Amino acid sequence: MQAIIRETQLQQQYLKEEITTIYFGGGTPSLLQVTEIQQLLEAIYSTFQVAPQVEITLEANPDDLSYQKLVQLQQAGINRLSIGVQSFYEPHLQFMNRAHNRTEALNCIKEAQQLGLENISLDLIYGIPLQEEAFEKRYSHEVWQQDLAQAIELQPKHISAYCLTIEPQTAFGKWSKQGKLPPIDEEFAAQQFELLIAQLENHQYEQYEISNFCLGGWRSKHNSNYWLSVPYLGLGPSAHSFNGDSRQFNIRNNTNYLKALAQHQLSFEKEILTHEDRINEYLMTSLRTNWGCSLPFLRENCQYDLWQAQRAELDFQQQQGTLYLQDDVIYLTKKGKLLADQLTARLFVSKKD
């Protein structure tokens, strides 16, 4: 905590703009005592210019959110919660090694709403095969549909949904290597993604980014800033920062991070963005959103004519039904959103040697 506060002070020149969002994330910040969250907020307010209507989000596990803690968080200034529910189905929670159960998830959401913390986002995970079923029944959509129905019934302002991924250096990665966990079935995951879009659209949730949905007027300001390439400062071990010209990545090792800050030194790697990087980052972020990729923006800010440079690929993708052009803006279709990463990669500009 002392090191992060010291880093905050040392980084006071990094951001020139007024702070419009503060986000406690990257792990389990709900393990912090509320007094510690207050200390961090005080350091930010005393170092930077903070907007009066700042959005302050806390990522939280349901088992950390007692009624008393919710009251204290609200008093401390937290006005948005991103709750890692993942699933309401007990076997899936156990499979993902979550510390909470269905009842704890439901209770903390309802209690937060009753306290007036209405800006709540729920995290859900799809693409999980049923672990207790025979192979031919494992790829049923029943549990996912029940999870979606339960989430919608709670009427959160925001829902984020992500496909289960298997990273090498995790328990899932080891199980997969040992044959205890089957690889992610891409067709099954794609079907669940389509169910997700259909169910939420039917209940007036706007899909404003591939993995993010909200009721009218309740987009995450913080996440939207990432997709709009607004500069941001990341504090703490392995945190990332972006100022428009470069990216920097804090040292990952906690001990070395503490040693550096004890000597009032910042320890990070820095990457200066090339002309090609800027174009590719804009493609990568804008195509994920429902405001799309603006051809005039690329021409005016990057001196790059995407339509001229990639006419054959864009024509081909339009024929495939994955994207469309309207008023000089490129948008992905529902089919295109299933293939967003690979489709965007096909439009990337190659870096010059």
Mean pLDDT by 10 residues, the chain (353 residues): 96 94 91 96 97 97 95 97 96 89 96 96 93 71 96 98 82 70 83 97 97 97 93 96 94 96 96 94 95 96 95 96 97 95 94 60
CB atoms near residue 108 (< 10 Å)? 25
Q: At what angle do helices 2-10 and 254-262 cross, to 10 degrees?
A: 60
CATH code for the domain in which residue 314 is found: 1.10.10
| pLDDT value for 350 | 87
Is residue 29 included in any domain, yes or no? yes
Same domain, 90 and 165: yes
Same domain, 82 and 198: yes
Residues 93, 99, 104, 109, Cα dihedral to 10°: -90
Question: Exposed (0-12), middle (13-18) or buried (19+): which is 304, by Cβ within 10 Å?
Answer: buried
| pLDDT value for 27 | 77
Same domain, 38 and 157: yes
Length reported for the chain: 353
Same domain, 145 and 204: yes
CA distance 243 to 249: 12
Number of domains in the chain: 2
Range of the domain at 65: 17-227
CA distance 257 to 228: 30
Is residue 310 included in any domain, yes or no? yes
DSSP 153: H
Is residue 94 included in any domain, yes or no? yes
Residue owning tokens 């090694």 = 97
Is residue 248 included in any domain, yes or no? no
Of 207, 113, 206, 110, the closest CA to residue 150 belongs to 110
Same domain, 281 and 213: no
Among 188, 211, 227, the domain-final residue is 227
Same domain, 134 and 222: yes
Query: Residue 167: which residues within 8 A CB-CB, separation 6 or more?
Result: 173
Same domain, 189 and 66: yes
In the chain the first and final C-alpha atoms are separated, in Å, by 42
Cα separations in angstroms, 155 against 110, 148, 194, 320:
10, 11, 20, 36
Same domain, 142 and 24: yes
Is residue 263 included in any domain, yes or no? no
Among 227, 255, 285, the domain-final residue is 227
Same domain, 51 and 194: yes
DSSP 62: G
Is residue 337 included in any domain, yes or no? yes
The DSSP bridge partners found for residue 93 are none
Pair 302, 293: CB distance under 8 Å: no
Is residue 8 included in any domain, yes or no? no
* Per-state percent for the chain, helix, strand, coil, to nearest 5: 45, 20, 35
The DSSP bridge partners found for residue 268 are 250
Phi, psi for residue 139 in degrees, rounded to 5 = -100, 50
CA distance 104 to 156: 16
| pLDDT value for 133 | 67
Structure tokens at 154: 């709670």
Query: Residue 308: which residues within 8 A CB-CB, separation 6 or more?
Result: none
Among 227, 261, 286, the domain-final residue is 227
DSSP 265: -
CA distance 33 to 190: 39
Cα separations in angstroms, 139 against 42, 144, 227, 257, 263:
49, 10, 33, 44, 54
- E-strand ranges in 135-274 read 158-163, 206-209, 212-214, 240-242, 246-250, 268-272
Is residue 251 included in any domain, yes or no? no
CA distance 40 to 197: 37
Same domain, 191 and 291: no
Same domain, 111 and 178: yes
Same domain, 117 and 198: yes
